[in-house]
Chains A and B, each alone.
Chain A
Amino acid sequence: AQKVTQAQTEISVVEKEDVTLDCVYETRDTTYYLFWYKQPPSGELVFLIRRNSFDEQNEISGRYSWNFQKSTSSFNFTITASQVVDSAVYFCALSEVIQGAQKLVFGQGTRLTINP
């Protein structure tokens, strides 16, 4: 079975610090997809990024960047110059395909608190 592990349960930093959220996954599939979602205090799940297993290029979007390394089965997420609005629970997820359908397997989430 596929599994996602986010070992950091909670992280607290001061505004403007850089912070990295770790994500390690397990899968036997050769083709798979990884996602990051943000869940702010209001509760909704906001899509941040999708990465397929064949694309190991790192991606940067503003203050956000993602480091995908197949060799270590990791898909880490870095926020540069953090802001209070970045405070949220962040979930890493793996796409598992069963009988042609797709479901997401989530990690336990990392609660990130940015202090002013």
Chain B
Amino acid sequence: AAGVIQSPRHLIKEKRETATLKCYPIPRHDTVYWYQQGPGQDPQFLISFYEKMQSDKGSIPDRFSAQQFSDYHSELNMSSLELGDSALYFCASSPTGSPGDTQYFGPGTRLTVL
């Protein structure tokens, strides 16, 4: 079965650079979520989109922005990168975004900021 696709899988950036992470949800899933997982920590919700509209926002820095496109893929844009942004970034998708929908996670993008 098709899964969530994330690219790139690994990314190395310098401080103050920008990064763009991409997410392709499972086919026919219209809801996308982004989570950040720091080393040794649990995943923290950043932002979600339902039918190309932002549906919720968590502890996402103002330096980060995201959007969902007409084909339902999503991109997380990160600017003025800081050392503390080094983390594993997960994208998840669910069929409808309804309460109780199971979120299926992609393999993650490991971002390292030097």
Contact = CB atoms under 8 A, between A and B. Distances in A.
Contact of A95 (B42, B55, B99, B106): B99
B99 A44 contact: no
Given A108-B42, A109-B42, A44 B105 contact: yes
Contacts of A46: 105
A91 B88 CA distance: 15
A100 B55 contact: yes
Interface string A68-111: 00000000000000000000000100010111111111111100
Nearest to A34: B100
Given A52-B100, A102-B98, A103-B58, A91 B43 contact: yes
A64 interface: no
A12 interface: no
Interface residues of A, number: 27
A105 B56 CA distance: 13
B110 A43 contact: yes
A59 to B, nearest CB: 14
A100 to B, nearest CB: 7
Given A42-B107, A102-B97, 9 more contacts: A31-B99, A44-B108, A98-B56, A101-B48, A101-B55, A102-B100, A103-B48, A103-B58, A106-B43
Interface of B: 33, 35, 41-45, 48, 50, 55-56, 58, 88, 90, 92, 94, 97-108, 110
